[in-house]
Structure 1
Amino acid sequence: MPALDAADLRLLDLLQRDGQMTAQALAEKVHLSPSQVARRKQRLEADGVIRGYRAHLDPKAVGLSVQAFVQIQTATHTDTSHRAFLRLTETQPEIIAAWTLTGEADYLLRIICADLTALNRLVQEVLLPHPAVGRVQSQIVMDEIKPDSPLPT
């Protein structure tokens, strides 16, 4: 990864908060010219520091009212079962994030569904029958007190 200076860090902080800021608006806040800001932004994108841009949607506004975190213990710890489980996470759109873990669980899934029936279907018909899955433990989110926020810079 490239070395980041104070202007890069300020630029990244601003872009995390509003990825649609113009070069002019960014330049005013970073105290550089718009062309310098544009070049820095292009470099940060090319270097993979900025991975992309997207709209942040309100789940309830698009009909998704249940969020859960699901811990998975695998039945076996083979490369084949790991790859099979990764394929499963990639094919289920309700699984919006997945992590490998240390400790009792092997994976942690963040799932967003329309309702409890949809979550139950995913757990009962997709996760539990999968040959790589040994145990499933889920926690349903009651309230989101701090949504995903920008990374500290």
Structure 2
Amino acid sequence: MPLLDGYDRKILTELQRSGRIAMSELAERVGLSASPCWRRVRRLEDAGVIRGYGARIAPEMVGLGLNVFVYVSLNLHQAEGFEAIIGERPEVIECYAITGNSDYLLHVMVPDMEAFDTFLRTELVHMPGVDRVNTTFALKAVKQATPLPLDRPSTSSKPPPKAAG
């Protein structure tokens, strides 16, 4: 994927704001005609820059009222087994390998404390290599920004990584 130019960044910013925008409206907002805009969107999709389109859902409106961040430390080098199991858990909406005192940071969303307790006691602590678990409960969301900050050019001298696939 070549470095993104200003039009690509504008297209990506607009699509993050409204994934259902009509191509003609998108083209108008970014200052292109419809055909070149469509070709750029297609190229960004084919290159894996755009991974998909979806709806932002209010978690509390669908019964997911408890937002938990879980730090997990492994006792042995069993990352593959742990990652495979975590990847299948629907309540784990994000999982990051991290530096510091823990090996992983999980973002878990469940209906309530009882559901989290069940996940913690019957699932998480029994996963391969899990040695220590520390939890932090979110009291409220101060900022939840799904759009990536694309309004300024990258300061990295490296080109973006190629999409897998």
Q: Secondary structure at the match of 2:101?
A: coil
Q: Give yes or no for contact 1:2–1:47 (8 Å, CA) kept in 2.
A: no
Q: Secondary structure at the match of 2:116?
A: helix
Q: Give yes or no for contact 1:73–1:134 (8 Å, CA) kept in 2.
A: yes
Matched, 1:139 2:136: yes
Task: Please name the residue that 2:86 is paired with.
Answer: 89
Task: Please name the residue that 1:11 is paired with.
Answer: 11
Q: Secondary structure at the match of 2:123?
A: helix
CA distance in 2, matches of 1:119, 1:96: 13
Q: Give yes or no for contact 1:65–1:113 (8 Å, CA) kept in 2.
A: yes
What is the identity, as a one-letter code, of the residue corresponding to 1:59?
P
| Structure 1 residue corresponding to 2:105, chosen from 100, 103, 108 | 108
Matched, 1:40 2:37: no
Q: Give yes or no for contact 1:75–1:131 (8 Å, CA) kept in 2.
A: no
Matched, 1:49 2:76: no
CA distance in 1, matches of 2:118, 2:85: 15
What is the identity, as a one-letter code, of the residue corresponding to 2:42?
Q
Q: Give yes or no for contact 1:97–1:111 (8 Å, CA) kept in 2.
A: yes
CA distance in 1, matches of 2:73, 2:28: 50
Q: Secondary structure at the match of 1:147?
A: coil
CA distance in 2, matches of 1:5, 1:90: 34
Q: Give yes or no for contact 1:70–1:138 (8 Å, CA) kept in 2.
A: yes
Report how many residues are paired: 150
What is the identity, as a one-letter code, of the residue corresponding to 1:112?
M
TM-score (norm 1): 0.95
Deviation at 1:131, TM superposition (A): 3.0
Deviation at 1:3, TM superposition (A): 1.7
Task: Please name the residue that 2:161 is paired with.
Answer: none
Provide the aligned C-alpha RMSD in A: 0.9
Percentage identity across aligned positions?
Answer: 38
Task: Please name the residue that 2:59 is paired with.
Answer: 59
Structure 1 segments (4+ residues) deviating >3 Å: none
TM-score (norm 2): 0.88
| Structure 2 residue corresponding to 1:98, chosen from 67, 74, 95 | 95
Instruction: Summarize deviations over 1:86-111 as a string: whole Å, max 9, x none.
Output: 11111210000000001110000000
Q: Secondary structure at the match of 1:83?
A: helix
What is the identity, as a one-letter code, of the residue corresponding to 1:108?
L
